[in-house]
Amino acid sequence: MTAPIMPKADAAELITAARIRQGLTWSDIAERIDAPVVWTVAALLGQHPVPAEKAAVVVEVLGLGEGVAESLTRQPMRVADDAAASDPTIYRFHEALAVYGPAIKELIHEEFGDGIMSAINFKVDVARRADPDGDRVVVTFDGKFLDYRW
Amino acid sequence: MTAPIMPKADAAELITAARIRQGLTWSDIAERIDAPVVWTVAALLGQHPVPAEKAAVVVEVLGLGEGVAESLTRQPMRVADDAAASDPTIYRFHEALAVYGPAIKELIHEEFGDGIMSAINFKVDVARRADPDGDRVVVTFDGKFLDYRW
Amino acid sequence: MTAPIMPKADAAELITAARIRQGLTWSDIAERIDAPVVWTVAALLGQHPVPAEKAAVVVEVLGLGEGVAESLTRQPMRVADDAAASDPTIYRFHEALAVYGPAIKELIHEEFGDGIMSAINFKVDVARRADPDGDRVVVTFDGKFLDYRW
Amino acid sequence: MTAPIMPKADAAELITAARIRQGLTWSDIAERIDAPVVWTVAALLGQHPVPAEKAAVVVEVLGLGEGVAESLTRQPMRVADDAAASDPTIYRFHEALAVYGPAIKELIHEEFGDGIMSAINFKVDVARRADPDGDRVVVTFDGKFLDYRW
Amino acid sequence: MTAPIMPKADAAELITAARIRQGLTWSDIAERIDAPVVWTVAALLGQHPVPAEKAAVVVEVLGLGEGVAESLTRQPMRVADDAAASDPTIYRFHEALAVYGPAIKELIHEEFGDGIMSAINFKVDVARRADPDGDRVVVTFDGKFLDYRW
Amino acid sequence: MTAPIMPKADAAELITAARIRQGLTWSDIAERIDAPVVWTVAALLGQHPVPAEKAAVVVEVLGLGEGVAESLTRQPMRVADDAAASDPTIYRFHEALAVYGPAIKELIHEEFGDGIMSAINFKVDVARRADPDGDRVVVTFDGKFLDYRW
Amino acid sequence: MTAPIMPKADAAELITAARIRQGLTWSDIAERIDAPVVWTVAALLGQHPVPAEKAAVVVEVLGLGEGVAESLTRQPMRVADDAAASDPTIYRFHEALAVYGPAIKELIHEEFGDGIMSAINFKVDVARRADPDGDRVVVTFDGKFLDYRW
Amino acid sequence: MTAPIMPKADAAELITAARIRQGLTWSDIAERIDAPVVWTVAALLGQHPVPAEKAAVVVEVLGLGEGVAESLTRQPMRVADDAAASDPTIYRFHEALAVYGPAIKELIHEEFGDGIMSAINFKVDVARRADPDGDRVVVTFDGKFLDYRW
Amino acid sequence: MTAPIMPKADAAELITAARIRQGLTWSDIAERIDAPVVWTVAALLGQHPVPAEKAAVVVEVLGLGEGVAESLTRQPMRVADDAAASDPTIYRFHEALAVYGPAIKELIHEEFGDGIMSAINFKVDVARRADPDGDRVVVTFDGKFLDYRW
Amino acid sequence: MTAPIMPKADAAELITAARIRQGLTWSDIAERIDAPVVWTVAALLGQHPVPAEKAAVVVEVLGLGEGVAESLTRQPMRVADDAAASDPTIYRFHEALAVYGPAIKELIHEEFGDGIMSAINFKVDVARRADPDGDRVVVTFDGKFLDYRW
C-alpha cells in the first residue's frame, strides 16, 4: 500500500515492449479502447490521464499488471522534453514553426482578431495522402479560437 | 551602387506599415501576386526569396521603393527567432508539439516506416472551421514523407 | 507613407515620459479611456492592441503624436522579457510560482479535473489591503477554466 | 541510525500514492491537519517544513511510516523546478506574468511606492468562481508590501 | 515635451564621466547628498529611484543637465546584469556564495527558523580593515529576517 | 580496499541525518571540532577537506562510520550548484549582488585601487542583530584585498 | 514478457565490449552484415533501427543475447547529444561548420537554388587519403538536394 | 587616420550587394582571385584574412572602396554564429553530425588511432553529383590527421 | 563476456581511492609507468587511452582488478565537464582566458601569422616556482603552431 | 564636459586601426610604454586600466585623441566574452582546460595543498619555441599560489 505509483515513463516502456512483442499497432490499441489514435498514443506515453475503464482494457490486451493501469490513470505533469525536440522526425515540425510561425500568427489575427488557437480544446490528426511524387504526411492541428477577452 | 541591400526585417516593417495604412489584408496581397497566402506572408516577412516579378507587384501595390523589392528577392538566412516562440499565439503550437510530438512521431513511423515529414517539400494552411461551440483554427502541415535511405 | 510604424517599445517610452511629466497616474489614464487599469498599463506598454478610439484619447490626453496612436493599435508580438523577470518586484511572483505552482496545479485538477486556467480569457487585478502588520499587495489571477477536450 | 533522511521527493510520491489509493482529496488532508489547503499541498510536496504534530497526523491518516514524517519535518532546499514550468497548467501563470508582470510592477509602485510584494510573508488561494460562460479559476497572491528601506 | 526620458544607463555614464573629470570620489558625492555611500553608487548607477532634491544636488555638483536628474528620479527596472557577474571583482562574491551559500542557509535556519534575510529591508556596507598580512575588504550584508508566515 | 570513496554528498546526508536525530546544532559540532561555524558547515556539506583529526571527532560525535571520515578528508571538487541558487534563502544574496554588485565593485576600486576581494583568503560570518523592527541577519564577507599585479 | 526493451545505449555498450574483447573492428562487423560501415556504426550505437536479420547476425557474431537484437530493431528517438559535441574529434566538425557553414550555404544556393542537402536521403563516408605531409581524414557528406517547393 | 577599420560584417554586406547587382557568382569572383571557391566565400564573408593583392582585385572587380579591402585583410575573430546554425540549409549538417558524429569518431580512431581531423590544415569542397533520383549535394571535409602526441 | 566495460569515471574513482589509501602521489604513479605526470593524471581520470602495458602496471601497483585496466585502455569520449569549470582552482584558468585570451590570440598571430596552437600535438606542465612573496604555480601550455592552410 | 567617456571597445578599435595603418606591432607599442607585451595588448583591448603617462604615450605614438587616453585610464568592467571563446585560436585553450583542467587541479593540490593559482597576482607570457617538427606556441600562466585560509 505504501509503494509509490509507477512513473508514467516506466508504464510507457512496458506498454511499448508488450505492444511490439505482440505485433500490435498503436491503431489496434486505439480501436480497442475506442479512442482517437493520436490521443491514445499521447496518453499511453504519459501525456494524458487515461480513464480507468480504458486503462483496464489496455493492460488486459497487453497482458500487463495493475500497476500500469494505476499509473495511466494518474494526472500527469506534462513536462516539455527538450531532448526529444532534436529528433529529426519531431524537429521538422519545430523548424516549420520557426519558418512559418509568424506567418501563421498573422493569419490567425487577420481571420479571427487578437487571440490564439487553444492547445487544450484541441485535437491533432496524422494522415497519409497519396501523391505521385511521393506520399505525404498530413498533420492537422485543430483548436478552438480563444480571443483575448478581459 | 555600394549601399548594402536593405535587411529583410526592414523590408518587412515597411511592407507591414504600408499594408496596414492602405487597409489591405495579407490575403489581398497574396491574391495580387497569385501565391498561397501562408507562403506570401512568410516570404514578405523574410523567410523566402520572392521571385522578381512578384516582388515588383508587391512594391507597386504598396507604393514602396525598389530597395524593398531588391531585398525581397535575396536568398534569406532563415534564423529561428526564439523570442517569437514565446508569443502566446505561436507558443500554443510549440506546446502542442511538446504534448503530442512523440505521439506524432510514433504514428509517422507506424504508417510510413523510419523517416520524416519534409519541412522543405512542404506547405502549410491556416483555415477557419465554424463550430457551434466556437469557431476553430485549423492549421494543416503537409509535407512529403522522406524515408531514411542510405 | 513608407515610414515604418513606431515600435511599441518607443511608444511606451513616450507615453511614460509624458505621463510622468504631466503628473498623471496610470489610473488617471485608465479612467480616461474607460478601461481596467491593469489592462490599460499592459496595453500602453505594448502587450495589447488598443482600439483606435482609445488610442486617440491617450495621445490627446498626453499630447503625443499620431504615430504613437498608430503604434498602439497594431497587433503586438507578445515576446517574453526574460530580463524583466529578474526585477525583484516581478521576480517575487516567479518565486511564488516556483514554490506554489505544483500545489496550485494539484488543486486546479482536484476542483476542476484535467485542464488549465486560461491566460487569454483572463483578467488580473492589483489591490491594496490594509493590514495592521503592514498593508498587503493582493494580486488576483482570474481565468476561465479550460478542460482538455479532444 | 546512520540511514539518510528520506528525500522529500520520495515522501511526496508515497503521500500521493496513499492519498489516491485511499480516495482522499488534498482538502481532506488539509482539514485533518487544520492547515490552509495550498500550504498543505505545497508542504507535502516538499516546499515547507511540516510541524512534527502535523506530520504525525499525515502519516497516521495515510498509513505511512515514520520515515515519511521525519522527511516532512526537515527544512527544505526550495529549488525551482524549471521543467515543471513547462506543464501547461503551470505555464499559463508564467505566461500571464510575461504579459502582465511589468504592468503589475507599475501599479505596485504607483500604489505603494518603491518596493515589492513579499513572497515570504505571503499566502495564496485557489478558488472556483461560477460563471455562466464557464466557471473560472481564481488564484489570489496576497503578500505584505515591503518597501526598499536602507 | 514628447522626448523619452533619458535611460538610466546613459545618465550613469554621464555621471561617471563628470565625476572622474572633476576628480570627485563616490564618497564625496554621497556626502553631498547625505546618503550612505553604497546606496548612492547603486542609485546613481540606476538601481534606485533618487529623490528629486538629491537628484538636483547631483546634477548641480557635477554640472549636468535636468535630463539626468529626471532620469535619476524614475522608478527603475532592476534587471540582473549577467555579464557583470563575470567581472573578477564581482565574481568572487558569486563564488563565495557557491561555496558558502548552503552553509549560510543552514545557519540562518538554525538561528532564526524557516525564512530569509530580506534583500529589500536591507543595507550593505563596504569597508577596509587593516591587516598586517594585507588589508582586507569587508562587505557586510544586513537585512531584516523574514519568516515564512502564512 | 577497492571500494570507491564515499561521495561527499552522501557523507553530508549521513551527517545531517545523525545531527538532526541527535538534536545537535551545527554550532554544537563546530564547538566540538574547535572550528568556525560557517567553515564547519561548509566543510561537512563537502566544500572543504576536513583535517583527519577533526573528521574523526565528527564521526565519533555522530556515531558514523570510518567511510564518512575518509570522505570528509578528501580534497573536494567545488562545483557551483546552480539549482541551490534558486532557493529563496540563498537567492536573496544573489539578488543583492545583482542590485549592489557594481556599486561594491566601484567602492573596492575607489578604496583599494584595481583588484579584488579574495574568496580564498577569506572568511564569512553569520550573525543575528537584535532590532526593534525585527531582528536582522548580518552576513559579513571578509577577504584579503588582492591588487592586479603583474 | 513484461520486461521493458533494453535501452539502445545499453545495447551499444554490450556490443562495444564484445567487439573490443573479440578483437573485431567496426569494418569486420559491417562486412558481416553487408552494410556500409558508417551506417553500421551509427546503427549499432543506436541511431538507426536495424533490420531483424542483420541484428541476428550481430548478436550471433558477438555472442550476445536476444535482448540486444530486440533493442537494435526498435525505432530510435534520435536525440542530439550536446555533450558529445565537445569531444575534440567531433568538435572539429562543428568548428568547421561554424567557419565554413555560411559559405557552404551560399554555394548550395548558387548551384542548386533555394533548398537544402537532405540529411535523410543521405550517406556519409570516412576515408583515409595518403599525403606526404601527413595522411588526411576525408569525410564526405552526400545528400539529395531538396528545393523549397510549396 | 583615426577612423576604425570597417567591420568585416559590413564589408561582407557591401560585397554581397555589389556581387548580386552586377550579376556575378561566387565562382566568378573566386576565379578572378584565383582561389578555391569555398575559401573565397568564407574569406569574403569574414572568416579568413584576405591577402592584400586578392583584396585589391575584389574591390576593383566589384567597384568598392579601399575601406572594404582594408577590412578584408584584417585578421578575423572567428566567432561561431549560433543563430546561423538554425538556418535549415546549415542545420542539416549539424543534424548529420548529431546522428553520425559518434560513428565518424569511432571510424577515425579505428583507422588512424587516437586523434582528430584538423580543422585548420583543412579544406572543404561543395559539389553537385547528378543522380536520376535527384541531383545530390556532395560536401567533402578534408583535413590532416593529427594524433594526440605529448 | 557480455558485461559492459567499466565506465572510465568508475575506474577513476577506484584508482583515486586506492591511491589515497596507499599514500601514493600522482607523481609516484607517473614514475612507475614512466610517463609525464600531467598526462598520467589526465589519462587515469579518463581523458586518454592508456597503453595496455601501462594500464597493467597501474592496476598492479594499486591492487585493482583487470576491469580497471580494460577500462583505461578504451578510447575515451572527451566530454567537457562544464560543472568542473566552476571549481575555483580550475575557474581561475578560465578567468585568465577571459581576461587575456584575446591578447594571447593577437600575439600568436603577430608572431606566427593566422593559425592556432594545437591542443592535440600538445603538452602541459605544472610546476612550483619559489618566490619570496609566496611560491607560484607555473602552468605551461606548449603546442605546435598550425597555420590555416588550405 | 558632459560627454560620456569613450567606451573601451571603441578605443580598442581606434588603437587597432592606427596600429595596423602605421605598421606597428604590439611589441613595438609595448616597448614604447615599457610594459610586458601581453599586459599591453590586454590593457589596450580594454582589460586593464592604463596609467595616465602610458596612455599619453600610446595616443601620441598612434596619433589618436585625448578621448582615447581618457578611456584607457578608466577602471574596466572585465566582462567575459563568451563569443570570443569560440574563435579557434582561443578555443584551443578552453579545450585544453576541458581535457587537462582536472589533472592540473590534482597536481596543484598535490604540490601546494588546498588552494588556487591566483589570476590576479598573475602574469602570462606567449613565446615561440623552435622545433624541427614545427615551431611551437608556448604560453605560460604564472600566478601566486593562494591557500584556502580562514
Question: Where do we find the cell 561594491?
Answer: F104
According to the model, what pLDDT value does residue H15 have? Answer: 98
Residue J3 is assigned to a structural domain of this protein: no
Please write the tens of the pLDDT for every residue from G24-48.
Answer: 999 999 999 999 999 999 999 999 9
Q: Which residue of J has its CA nearest to E67?
A: J2
According to the model, what pLDDT value does residue I45 have? Answer: 98
Chains adjacent to H (≥3 CB pairs closer than 8 angstroms): A, B, G, I, J
Percent of chain H at pLDDT exceeding 70: 99
Per DSSP, helices labelled H in B22-140 are: 26-32, 37-44, 52-62, 66-73, 88-112
- Residue C35: DSSP 8-state: S
For residues G95 and G118, membership in a common domain is answered with yes
According to the model, what pLDDT value does residue E2 have? Answer: 77
Q: Touching check for I13 and chain F: CB below 8 Å?
A: yes
According to the model, what pLDDT value does residue C61 have? Answer: 98
CATH number of the domain within which J103 lies: 3.30.1160.10
Question: Which residues does chain I have with pLDDT short of 50?
Answer: none
Question: Which residues does chain E have with pLDDT short of 70?
Answer: 1
According to the model, what pLDDT value does residue B100 have? Answer: 98
According to the model, what pLDDT value does residue J2 have? Answer: 76
Beta-carbon count within 10 A of G81 CB:
17
For residues H45 and H90, membership in a common domain is answered with no
For residues C59 and C98, membership in a common domain is answered with no
- Residue I144: DSSP 8-state: E
C27 is catalytic: no
The interaxial angle of helices I52-62 and I8-21, nearest 10 deg, is 40
Query: In the structure, what pLDDT confidence band is assigned to residue F124 with cuts at 50, 70 and 90?
Result: very high
Residue C50 is assigned to a structural domain of this protein: yes
Chain A residues lying within 8 Å of G79, measured CB to CB: 83-84, 86-87
* Assigned C-alpha cell, J104: 592540473
Give catalytic residue positions of I.
92, 95, 118
Of residues I4, I77, I80, nearest to G14 (C-beta) = I4
Q: Where are the beta strands (DSSP E) in chain F?
A: 115-129, 136-147
Residue C79 is assigned to a structural domain of this protein: no
Per the prediction, chain C carries an average pLDDT of: 97
Residue D78 is assigned to a structural domain of this protein: no
Are there at least 3 beta-carbon pairs closer than 8 Å between G and D? no
Query: In the structure, what pLDDT confidence band is assigned to residue D2 with cuts at 50, 70 and 90?
Result: confident
In angstroms, the CA D127 to CA B76 distance is 50
According to the model, what pLDDT value does residue A2 have? Answer: 77
Query: What number is the average pLDDT over the span F17-25?
Result: 98
Query: In the structure, what pLDDT confidence band is assigned to residue F2 with cuts at 50, 70 and 90?
Result: confident
* Interface contact flag, E98 I91, Cβ < 8 Å: no
Query: How far is CA J107 from each of CA C63, I11, I140, J82, J144, rounded to the nearest angstrom?
Result: 70, 19, 13, 28, 15
Per-residue 3-state assignment (H helix, E strand, C coil) for E33-85:
CCCCHHHHHHHHCCCCCCCHHHHHHHHHHHCCCHHHHHHHHCCCCCCCCCCHH
Query: What number is the average pLDDT over the span F50-57?
Result: 98
Chain D residues lying within 8 Å of A5, measured CB to CB: 13, 16-17, 20
In angstroms, the CA E94 to CA F119 distance is 9
According to the model, what pLDDT value does residue F57 have? Answer: 98
According to the model, what pLDDT value does residue I143 have? Answer: 98
- Residue C26: DSSP 8-state: H
Query: In the structure, what pLDDT confidence band is assigned to residue H2 with cuts at 50, 70 and 90?
Result: confident
Residue F78 is assigned to a structural domain of this protein: no
Residue J69 is assigned to a structural domain of this protein: yes
According to the model, what pLDDT value does residue A41 have? Answer: 98
| Residue at which a domain ends, from F73, F104, F124 | F73
Distance of CA A118 to the CA centre of its chain: 15
- Whether residue F64 is predicted with pLDDT greater than 90 in this model: the reply is yes
According to the model, what pLDDT value does residue I22 have? Answer: 97
In angstroms, the CA F141 to CA F126 distance is 9
Query: How far is CA E134 from each of CA E130, J122, J150, rounded to the nearest angstrom?
Result: 7, 17, 14
Q: Which residues contact E33 (CB under 8 A, 6 or more apart)?
A: E40, E54, E57, E58
For residues B66 and B95, membership in a common domain is answered with no
Are there at least 3 beta-carbon pairs closer than 8 Å between B and J? no
To 10 degrees, the CA torsion angle through G82, G84, G89, G90?
A: -40
- Whether residue F22 is predicted with pLDDT greater than 90 in this model: the reply is yes
Contact F138, E76 (CB under 8 A): no
* Assigned C-alpha cell, I50: 592508456
Query: In the structure, what pLDDT confidence band is assigned to residue G134 with cuts at 50, 70 and 90?
Result: very high
* Substitution target from B1, B82, B150 for chain H, most H beta carbons within 10 A: B1
* Substitution target from J94, J95, J99, J133 for chain G, most G beta carbons within 10 A: J95
Question: Where do we find the cell 542590485?
Answer: F99
According to the model, what pLDDT value does residue B136 have? Answer: 98
Please write the tens of the pLDDT for every residue from I73-98.
Answer: 999 999 999 999 999 999 999 999 99
Residue D91 is assigned to a structural domain of this protein: yes
According to the model, what pLDDT value does residue E77 have? Answer: 97
Q: Which of B21, B27, B86, B92 is catalytic?
A: B92
Tell me the backbone φ, ψ of residue H143, rounded to 5 degrees.
-130, 150
Query: How far is CA C38 from each of CA C12, C34, C145, D32, D93, rounded to the nearest angstrom?
Result: 15, 12, 21, 39, 16
- The DSSP line for H81-138 is -TTGGGSHHHHHHHHHHHHHHHHHHHHHHHHH-SEEEEEEEEEEEEEEE--TT--EEE
Per DSSP, helices labelled H in chain C are: 8-21, 26-32, 37-44, 52-62, 66-73, 88-112
Question: Which residues does chain A have with pLDDT short of 70?
Answer: 1
- Residue B149: DSSP 8-state: B
According to the model, what pLDDT value does residue E96 have? Answer: 98
For residues G13 and G63, membership in a common domain is answered with yes
Question: Where do we find the cell 521576480?
Answer: C91
According to the model, what pLDDT value does residue C2 have? Answer: 76
Per the prediction, chain G carries an average pLDDT of: 97
For residues G67 and G89, membership in a common domain is answered with no
Q: Which residues contact C143 (CB under 8 A, 6 or more apart)?
A: C117, C118, C119, C120, C121, C122, C123, D92, D96, D136, D137
* Substitution target from F117, F128, F133, F146 for chain E, most E beta carbons within 10 A: F117
For residues G94 and G67, membership in a common domain is answered with no
Q: What angle do CA H139, H140, H145 make, to 5 degrees?
A: 150
Q: Touching check for D95 and chain B: CB below 8 Å?
A: yes
Beta-carbon count within 10 A of J67 CB:
16
Residue I1 is assigned to a structural domain of this protein: no
The total number of structural domains in chain D stands at 2
Please write the tens of the pLDDT for every residue from G91-112.
Answer: 999 999 999 999 999 999 999 9
| Residue at which a domain ends, from J30, J46, J73 | J73
Q: Touching check for I41 and chain J: CB below 8 Å?
A: yes
Q: Which residues contact H133 (CB under 8 A, 6 or more apart)?
A: G144
| Residue at which a domain ends, from B73, B97, B117 | B73
- Any bridge partners for residue B76, and if so which? none
Q: Touching check for D111 and chain C: CB below 8 Å?
A: yes
Contact H113, I120 (CB under 8 A): no
Are there at least 3 beta-carbon pairs closer than 8 Å between C and J? no
* Interface contact flag, I48 H77, Cβ < 8 Å: no
Q: Which residues contact J79 (CB under 8 A, 6 or more apart)?
A: E83, E84, E86, E87
Chain B residues lying within 8 Å of C77, measured CB to CB: 84, 87
Contact E45, E81 (CB under 8 A): no
For residues B142 and B112, membership in a common domain is answered with yes
For residues A69 and A12, membership in a common domain is answered with yes
* Assigned C-alpha cell, I61: 601497483
Per the prediction, chain B carries an average pLDDT of: 97
* Assigned C-alpha cell, D31: 482539514
CATH number of the domain within which H53 lies: 1.10.260.40
* Residue C63 structural domain: 8-73
For residues C20 and C40, membership in a common domain is answered with yes
Chain D residues lying within 8 Å of F88, measured CB to CB: 78, 119-120
For residues G111 and G68, membership in a common domain is answered with no
Q: What angle do CA I113, I114, I116 make, to 5 degrees?
A: 105
